[in-house]
A = this chain, B = another copy of it.
Amino acid sequence: MAFKIGLLGLGTVGTGTAEILLDPQGRHPLLKEIEIHRVGVRSLDKPRAVTLPSELITTDLEAIVTDPAIDVVVEVMGGLEPARSLILKAIAHGKHIVTANKAVIARFGDEIFTAANEAGVYVMLEAAVGGGIPVIQPLKQSLGVNKISAVTGIVNGTTNYILTRMQTEGGEFADILADAQKLGYAEADPTADVDGLDAADKIAILASLAFGGRINLQEVHCEGIRQVSAAEIAYAEKLGFVIKLLAIAKRLGNEAAGQQQTPDTPQDSAHSSPSPISVRVHPTLVPLTHPLASISGVYNAILVEGEPIGQVMFFGPGAGSGPTASAVVSDILNIIGVLKTSSDSQKMHPLLSCSHQHYCTVAPIAELVSRFYARFLTKDRPGVIGSLGTCFGKHNVSLESVVQTGFQGGLAEIVVVTHDVREGNFKQALDEIRALEAVDSIPSILRVL
């Protein structure tokens, strides 16, 4: 008996998915037991890169998610609606779900997983983060035995492509964005990518899996790369850093301001609630020796840190028809693997299903503890570095380096890198510094990994 797939969407990812399913030879033998039963599209007339019997194709998406013959609904149409409603209706009709839709999961994961648990079906989303890179599944099935401390990723290929080109060519953001749009590496409306929204959706999903709780997307701090200049990239390089748009989810443990590390007060003891996490997306100075520093172009990489594993990193193509389809089909295979093993649909596989129901406590960005980089333009006279240092010191901001890097239009240019400090303290110090008579402006403030 073949397992029957209903495919919602026949765009880039849908086509890639169909191509794998129609060509099982040389792949996992289980693929031969999967059959594309129906395919839902917006327009029947559009030319398609993949040949499917025309009777499979329909514009009636509701008919697919309610079709009693279908075992797994694969949602690769994207967008919030009707994707969300179709997923929920499919779940209500007892279908398992495979989706590549990070936006729907990051916003409506709570509703979708609650419905799926009630219906006893799986919702799989490997393709939603990191394209073809297996990272969702390792987090669910391999790394959960660790106490995860951080997940740090380059999870948006468009911005990594732009930053890589700015780095190698010395070009400005707007020019390279325009060229990336021409070449198809950036969308006509680049907002979701360059403002970090896509990365925010993805880190919310990764944080949820890594820290075992749901994430309120509104609490994810998000800054894009529009303000990153060629000058900043050059300064960073001189100091031994490369600028990357990082998506970071981190357990705020003993390092958090005001908390002292004492060996006999464990973070996760049965009687204290777990410490809050920080979830954020922002351009970041990454030390050149860091594993994420060498990830260039449209590639993605996700670094997971925990106890006792240390650091593991997953690297690969973060988008594209083939890689994303590989993730989609592997999810289908995992569902079918369980269906073939289990005779009782009431017993959900504990590593494939979503068990957590509470929300993680996400700390406000002011409580973040991080290193910072700031560039100042000041009057060129003795004592300025002293005044900066005094202001930082007053606010408990410890400095790693203060370097006068040169002059610009008669003003002295000073670059400061701090040690780990509480973001709130750092911002207060900057407010005071801005008011100093000798300080002209602060053209750039960036966080340092």
Contacts and interface: CB of A to CB of B under 8 A. Distances in A.
Interface residues of A: mostly helix, strand, loop or mixed? mixed
B330 A143 contact: yes
A350 B329 CA distance: 15
Given A145-B326, A349-B340, A310 B316 contact: yes
How many subunits of this chain does the assembly comprise? Answer: 2
A317 interface: yes
Nearest to A303: B315
A56 interface: no
A311 B317 contact: yes
A222 to B, nearest CB: 27
Nearest to A131: B309
Interface residues of A, number: 69
Contact of A311 (B266, B268, B316): B316
A53 interface: no
A138 interface: yes
A147 interface: yes
B26 A312 contact: no
Contacts of A268: 25-26
A343 interface: yes
A144 interface: yes
B146 A326 contact: yes
A240 interface: no
Contact of A347 (B126, B313, B341): B341
Given A143-B134, A350-B340, A307 B322 contact: yes
A312 B133 contact: yes
Contact of A142 (B20, B327, B340): B327
B316 A309 contact: yes
Contacts of A291: 315
B326 A351 contact: no
Interface in A310-345: 310-317, 320-323, 325-327, 329-330, 333-334, 337-338, 340-344
Contact of A27 (B144, B313, B322, B323): B144
Contacts of A308: 16, 19-20, 321-323, 325-326
B334 A146 contact: no
A312 B132 contact: yes
A1 to B, nearest CB: 14
Contacts of A337: 141, 349-352
A441 interface: no
A267 interface: yes
Interface stretch (A28-36, A42-50, A151-159): A28-36
Contact of A145 (B27, B267, B313): B27
B312 A316 contact: yes
A147 B30 contact: no
A310 B314 contact: no
A59 interface: no
A430 interface: no
Given A134-B312, A310-B316, A145 B351 contact: no
A355 interface: yes
Which of A212, A326, A327, A333 is the most central at the interface, judged by chain B CB atoms within 10 Å of its CB? A326
Given A308-B321, A326-B143, A330-B145, A347 B351 contact: no
30 contacts: A19-B308, A20-B145, A26-B267, A27-B145, A28-B144, A28-B212, A28-B351, A30-B351, A132-B309, A134-B143, A134-B312, A141-B334, A141-B337, A143-B326, A291-B315, A294-B294, A308-B325, A309-B316, A309-B317, A309-B323, A310-B323, A312-B317, A314-B315, A333-B351, A337-B351, A338-B341, A341-B341, A341-B347, A342-B343, A343-B347
Interface of A: 16, 19-20, 25-31, 126, 132-134, 137-138, 141-147, 212, 266-270, 274, 291, 294, 306-317, 320-323, 325-327, 329-330, 333-334, 337-338, 340-344, 347-352, 355
